[in-house]
Amino acid sequence: MAASGSDTPTGHDVIHVAAAEHVDALIDEISERGERVVAVADDLVFVAGAARPAAWARNSWLAPRTITIDSIGDGARALRALQRNWALHPVAHHRRARLIADRLPPIRFRALTFPADPPTAALGAWTLWDRHTLIASPVTTSAFADGTPAFVEDRDNPPNRAYLKLWEALTLARRRPGPGDRCLDLGAAPGGWTWVLATLGATVISVDRAELAPALAGRPGIEHRAGDAFAVRADDVGDLDWICSDLIAYPERLLELARYWCAACPLAAVIITIKCQGPVDAALCARFLAIPGARLLHLAHNKHELTFFRLPEGGPPEAACAVDTTD
């Protein structure tokens, strides 16, 4: 259902913004846990019931309200009356929506220079449903516009672009390894995640049948072990602070991997990429979430995959963005 020319949805308590090309996966996830989808408009999924984290949502609007407006200026005033910082999510009447956005206090969304800590400024989200109706939420789950962070990329040193997934995961987690931490990187080659962990000052045990990129192979603080990443056990590596994996494998095998390491190292932080094969199995995702302390997120740098988090000390990951709220 598109917004233009359609009735404004009612009876919803939260609006999820679906990850790109994963509207169906989000609807299946919501339905699997017994929640009711009220309406769908483009990538907006309107849901009745208490707000719960949704893996396939890049942002969730937690306090949506419908606002009737008479003009462009009226729309801008209505939003400013709720709070200062807003990000437009356009679905219809794009020019009129942009004119409203231009009358709001400016925000400069700066690319993050990892590992800088992002600010915690609240960021509301809104859309222009029709010419005289705004849907706005001053409270969302992400302080990134549409839940999509941007980073100042390193185009010279990482061996592949997989490093961006771990940058994003650690930014959302609001914690990261550092000097004195011992990390395990399963399925490491060519070494994008190992490179991130090592540049943060941590000691890294990388495991893969293939070798690391030459620039990483002899780097101090990195111990590479050739072998099957699924065969590694806690007794083989000693005490760990972080367990990371970007392994390519069927989700069922990755579920067993997550279960094992979460049980074997209850005090360690665990981050695992879940590669989804074909249609997303919502029931299988629920089995990941049954692990105590688990959280699933579709990162902006994920493709057809989710990221599993278990952060025993820091709680579930929270998104944030770099914003300059000066006029």
Q: Using one digit for the tens of pLDDT, what is the confidence trace for 173-215? A: 999 999 999 999 999 999 999 999 999 999 999 999 999 999 9
140: β partners: 61
Chain-centroid distance of CA 204 in Å reads: 24
Retrieve residue 296's tokens.
Answer: 């699933």
What is the set of domains in the chain, with CATH numbers?
Answer: 14-147 (3.30.2130), 162-310 (3.40.50.150)
CB neighbour burial string for 42-61, b if at least 16 within 10 angstroms, e if fewer: bbbbbbeeebeebbbbbbbb
Distance CA 243, CA 94 (A): 44
Q: What percent of the chain has pLDDT over 90?
A: 81
Residue with token string 């000691």 = 203
Among all residues, which ones are annotated catalytic?
A: 275
Tens-place pLDDT, residues 19-41: 989 999 999 999 999 999 999 99
| Structure tokens given for 295 | 């959280």
Buried b vs exposed e over 136-155: b needs ≥16 C-beta within 10 Å?
bbbbbbbbbbbbbbebeeee
Q: What is the pLDDT along the chain (327 residues), one digit of tens a residue?
A: 344 446 889 999 999 999 989 999 999 999 999 999 999 999 999 999 988 899 999 999 999 999 999 999 999 999 999 999 999 999 999 999 999 999 999 988 889 999 987 767 779 999 999 999 999 999 999 888 999 999 999 999 999 999 999 999 999 999 999 999 999 999 999 999 999 999 999 999 999 999 999 999 889 999 999 999 999 999 999 999 999 999 999 999 999 999 999 999 999 999 999 998 877 888 999 999 999 999 999 999 999 999 999 998 755 565 432 333 333
Side by side, the strands of the sheet bearing 14-18 are: 36-41, 44-48, 14-18, 57-61
Strands of the sheet containing 222-226, edge to edge, are 222-226, 203-208, 182-186, 242-245, 269-275, 305-310, 294-297
How high is the pLDDT of residue 320? Answer: 31
The residue type found at 228 is D
